[in-house]
Amino acid sequence: MNEDDDPLTALFAESRRQEIWPQTPDAPAQIWRRARTADLLDEEIRRRRDRHLPLAFGRRVAGIAALLAGEALLLEAVAALPDPALGAVGLTSTTAALLALVALPAVILAGSMRREVVPYT
């Protein structure tokens, strides 16, 4: 800004000075309490989430372990089938093993999707 701006600055200053606002003595305290309440709520939500974190992690690990065990069982079952039986349905042992590996996650996925979709009645 330069000297030319002085009248403009004075005009704005006067405009600002003349603007009267109602004084609300308890407003800062109310805002303070509102903000602190929100902070406390956030903290509580974070604490609860942190508390449940090991449980959620444990569930996930157990789920993965169960999936691996299921896959191993399926593979074992497929391996136990005689080759002529697989050949009769047009499968090689490798294809059957791959199908077995994919089948279990597919069934689990379908099951979880069914649970998540609310039926329209």
Partner 1 sequence: MDEPEFEAFYRATADRLRTYLYRVCGDRRLAEDLAQEGYYRFLRSGFSSTEDEERARYLFRIGSNLLKDHWAGAKKIASLPSLEPETASPADRLDLHNALGALKRPERQMLWLAYAEGYSHSQIAGVLGVKPASVRVLLFRAKARLVRLLQGDQT
Sequence-distant (≥ 6) Cβ neighbours of residue 78 within 8 angstroms: 93, 96, 97, 100
57 binds partner 1 (CB under 8 A): no
Segment interacting with partner 1, rule: CB under 8 A, options 21-29, 71-79, 89-97, 103-111: 21-29
Taking the CA atoms of residue 34, residue 35, residue 36 and residue 40 in that order, the dihedral angle to the nearest 10 degrees is 100
Report how far apart, in Å, the C-alpha atoms of 17 and of each of 6, 7, 14, 24 are.
16, 15, 5, 18
41 binds partner 1 (CB under 8 A): no
37 binds partner 1 (CB under 8 A): no
Segment interacting with partner 1, rule: CB under 8 A, options 26-34, 47-55, 72-80, 105-113: 26-34
* Of positions 11, 64, 67, 69, contacts partner 1 by CB under 8 A: 11
Sequence-distant (≥ 6) Cβ neighbours of residue 108 within 8 angstroms: 67
Contact at 8 Å (CB) between 101 and 71? Answer: yes
User: Which phi and psi (to 5°) does residue 22 adopt?
Assistant: -65, 135
12 binds partner 1 (CB under 8 A): yes
Site size for partner 1 (CB under 8 A): 22
89 binds partner 1 (CB under 8 A): no
Residues in touch with partner 1 (CB under 8 A): 1, 5, 8-9, 11-16, 18-19, 21, 27-29, 31-32, 34-35, 38-39
